[in-house]
Amino acid sequence: MGYDYATERPKVFTEEGQVMFLQIRDWLAETLSKAGAARMQEIIAYAPPSGDSWTMLACIDRLIELNEIQWVCKCNHVGPHTYCVVELADHSFGCELHPNE
């Protein structure tokens, strides 16, 4: 069974989930203000706190729902790797998958 936001989303609203959500939000805000964008694998690997990666993904999806961050490019598959990149919602870096940028 793979990741399903609808299933994982309620975990974001638990006390533990809210702590994780705020820590990820704050880490992303600092990281994205310096770097402009971040790959999903780095977010999962380096954003505090360590924990269930599906709950972390749900926190990131919630930030996208709230328009705090946005996808630069929806997931790209390069060889055996999948690259998913996010940026702050008010930035635009351009991407072939986003023709309006």
Judge whether residue 64 has pLDDT over 60. yes
The answer to whether residue 56 sits within a structural domain is: yes
Q: What is the mean pLDDT of residues 37-44?
A: 82
The answer to whether residue 67 sits within a structural domain is: yes
Instruction: Give the CATH number, domain containing residue 39.
Output: 1.10.10.10
Both structure tokens of 18:
């809210």
The answer to whether residue 100 sits within a structural domain is: no
pTM: 0.75
The answer to whether residue 98 sits within a structural domain is: no
Higher pLDDT, 51 or 83: 51
Both structure tokens of 59:
């926190």
Contact indicator for 60, 27 with CB cutoff of 8 Å? no
The answer to whether residue 32 sits within a structural domain is: yes
Instruction: Note the pLDDT tens digit of each residue in 12-35.
Output: 999 999 999 999 999 988 888 888
The answer to whether residue 60 sits within a structural domain is: yes
Structural domain boundaries enclosing 61: 5-88
Q: Output the pLDDT for position 95.
A: 41
- DSSP E strands in the chain: the ranges are 38-39, 69-78, 81-88
Count of domains observed in the chain: 1
